[in-house]
Amino acid sequence: MKIMKEEKEECVFCNIIEKREEASIVYEDDQVIAVMDIQPVNPGHILVIPKQHLPFIGPEQNQIGEYMFKVGIQIASALKSNDLKCEGVNYIMADGEAAGQEVFHAHLHVFPRFKNDGFGFRFSEEYYNPPQRNELNRIASEIKNKLVYEINKVRSVQ
């Protein structure tokens, strides 16, 4: 337990939540805080952060995951209705290091996009050789079986 406490003290988002670190706060309630990203993809880049120190959002954190997205949608609406350059919005949550997660306190990125803003996704060679339908169906079936189980599991604990 000592290790967990030390990890929490080093967490930049916990420090922001507990006001030990400076942040430009856009929104705050008892469940989440939304702050300006200090290294924005585009001006108006905001992070929606749960107040509880959760490294990831899994099925057990279903409720806070929904709430983070709900707040994100409101923020996106505000981004579109002010003077910022905002032709579209990306919602991005990096779940795990391989997905680009750098701070292991879950957070949802909400940021404005506009044509030729320089941001984009890189694709692998595989992307240009898409799978056949039977391969898509095989993978869909594997995921579907797990999904039914997980959703039932989530429902049963609520």
The helices-and-strands tally (H runs, E runs) of the chain is 4, 5
Q: 45, 105, 107, 109: which is the annotated catalytic residue?
A: 107
Least gap, CB of 17 to Zn ion (angstroms): 7
Tokens, residue 116: 């030729």
| Binding letters toward Zn ion, positions 120-139, x by CB under 5 A | --------------------
Catalytic site includes residue 107? yes
Residue 53 contacts Zn ion per CB under 5 A: yes
- φ, ψ at 45 (rounded to 5°): -70, 120
Residue 11 contacts Zn ion per CB under 5 A: yes
Number of chain positions touching Zn ion (CB under 5 A): 5
Those residues whose C-beta lies under 8 Å from the C-beta of residue 23, and which sit 6 or more positions away, are: 16, 33, 35, 36
* Spatial separation of the C-alpha atoms in residues 48 and 75, rounded to whole Å: 9
Site for Zn ion in 97-116 (CB under 5 A): 105
Residue 75 contacts Zn ion per CB under 5 A: no
Burial letters 141-151, b for 16+ CB under 10 A, else e: eeeeeeeeeee
Among 13, 86, 89, 109, binds Zn ion (CB under 5 A): 13
Q: Which residue is nearest to Zn ion (CB)?
A: 11
> Which residue's CB is nearer to Zn ion, number 45 or number 105?
105
Instruction: Name the residue type at position 37.
Output: D
| Residue ranges that bind Zn ion, judged by CB under 5 A | 11, 13-14, 53, 105
